Amino acid sequence: MFGEFKEVMTKEFEMTDIGLMAYYLGIEVNQREDGSFISQAGYAREILKKFRMDNSKSINTPVECGVKLSKHDEEEKVDPTFFKSLVGSLRYLTCTRPDILYAVGLVSRYMEDPTTTHLKIAKRILRYIKGTIDFGLFYSTSNHFKLEGYSDSDWGGDIDDRKSTTGFVFFMGDTAFTWMSKKQPIVTLSTCEAEFQSATDWIYNPIAYRKRTTTSDQIRKNNKDKMLTSLTYERGKEERKIDGGSSRLSHKKENPLSSKPITTNSSRTRAQIGSGYCSTEPVQRKAA
């Protein structure tokens, strides 16, 4: 496939074949027979040196579990330009490091008026990077390209505006190829609403991706893609919401999100995706 593409492009445009790519905009590419490994180890070292954290003590998590930050922190102010430069450098590192995406997104909310508290959290990310500097993504050569995705949401995690945070990741085979963590645009009134908002943001990605890959024989021959969300699990005809306090979105307070379950359910009905319950317990045990 690649040879045919290169032949067509060289006939259409004037270009030179310089061999396998090894470096692209700060991303290191190591191509082997069994797959390709991408990382930003060199860029990470530059960041650590730039912000004088290259001799710091490493730590095993990018952010402390349950940490809460606020824009109204009364701690001492820090230089906004310095803080923005630090956060901006970290954001580019998320191109190959989905493990720091949530933490970087968290400190990004406080770039206008940062304090020493916010800077401490940002430097903790640098300490985590120091201990995991060679981390990256390995894409193995395989005929199995089944699309699999996971989504989740907290509820009212931002103590300033009480908005929730959506997070999702998609795998093609065994490796993540796209991921996101961002605040939801509305304030939800229950965990169920927050999960539906997250699932709605998440559901459009596999649908759009499948449209772009309909010509791929490897993907067309696979079974239905597997999409896992913490929202529901199904057993036969039964469906149980993870928020046991509310049965269906029929209450008046939940009307703003009444279209969300319709969107997810209609996509499942059209067999575009399959959904299922994903327990967080195994993940928590691994993290411990």
Q: What would the two tokens of residue 269 be?
A: 């009905």
Q: Is 203 helix (H, G, I), strand (E, B) or coil?
A: helix
pLDDT of 132 > 90? The answer is yes
202, 167 in Cβ contact below 8 A?
Answer: no
Distances in Å between the alpha carbon of 256 and those of 11, 78, 142, 155, 190? 54, 39, 44, 16, 12
List pLDDT tens digits, range 147-157. Answer: 778 888 889 88
Structure tokens at 46: 């530059």
- Return the structure tokens found at 114: 């940062």
CA distance 142 to 222: 13
- pLDDT tens digits, 187-207: 989 888 888 888 777 777 666
The predicted model gives 255-281 an average pLDDT of 54
Among the listed ranges 70-74, 127-131, 190-194, 197-201, which one has the minimum average pLDDT value? 197-201
When the pLDDT of each residue in the chain is averaged and rounded to a whole number, the result is 77
> pLDDT digits over 42-59, tens only?
999 999 999 999 999 999
Q: Residue 255 carries which DSSP code?
A: G
Residue 236: the pLDDT is 32
pLDDT score of 52? 95
DSSP three-state, residue 273: coil
Domains of the chain in sequence order? 39-136 (no CATH), 143-287 (3.30.420.10)
